[in-house]
Amino acid sequence: MNIFLFGAAEKGELCKPIYLHSLDQLLEILGNPPETSEGILCAIQALLLNNSLIYFRVEEEGFSYENYLKGFRLLHKEGLIMKVSAVCMPGMANSEIWDVLLPICRNFRIIILMSEKDLYDYLTEK
């Protein structure tokens, strides 16, 4: 499974897809997670479950809306080429952002991975 994960990181290029296949690569390219970040932790879980990972580094998880929109444009344009089968946006509960992503996921048959907390925040935000 190819997972497209939006997350913050200590280093790595912002708003560019970073293909990761191992924990060593993850540490080398992205470094440590910022204090409140969940992206790196989700990336570790994905890699430990033998998934391919496309990490899209955002400035701040849940808040850098322009960064997320750039990622959505990339998914819309190249989702099939990248063979993305799942999207994960830890810490993002903003319904306006989700409203942009959901049609892309429907069109390309991409599943959404989210934590219970993020789902609750999304459902109660509206």
Domain CATH number, residue 13: 3.30.1490.450
Position 82 scores a pLDDT of 85
The percent of residues above 90 in pLDDT, for the chain, comes to: 84
Q: How many domains does the chain have?
A: 1
Summarize pLDDT for 37-58 with one digit per residue, the tens: 999 999 999 999 999 999 999 9
Sign for the pseudo-dihedral over CA of 14, 21, 83, 41: negative
Q: Are 37 and 9 in contact (CB under 8 A)?
A: yes
CB proximity list for 87: less than 8 A, separation 6 or greater: 3, 4, 5, 6, 75, 101, 105, 110, 111, 112, 113
Q: Are 85 and 1 in contact (CB under 8 A)?
A: yes
Summarize pLDDT for 64-103 with one digit per residue, the tens: 999 999 999 999 998 778 899 999 999 998 889 999 999 9
Crossing angle of helices 39-48/23-30, nearest 10°? 160
Q: Would you place residue 126 in the very low, low, confident or very high pLDDT band (cuts 50, 70, 90)?
A: low
Domain carrying residue 32: 2-125
**Three-state helix/strand/coil letters over 40-97:** HHHHHHHHHCCCEEEEEECCCCCCCHHHHHHHHHHHHHHCCCCCCCEEECCCCCCHHH
Q: Would you place residue 125 in the very low, low, confident or very high pLDDT band (cuts 50, 70, 90)?
A: confident
Q: Would you place residue 8 in the very low, low, confident or very high pLDDT band (cuts 50, 70, 90)?
A: very high
Length of the chain: 126
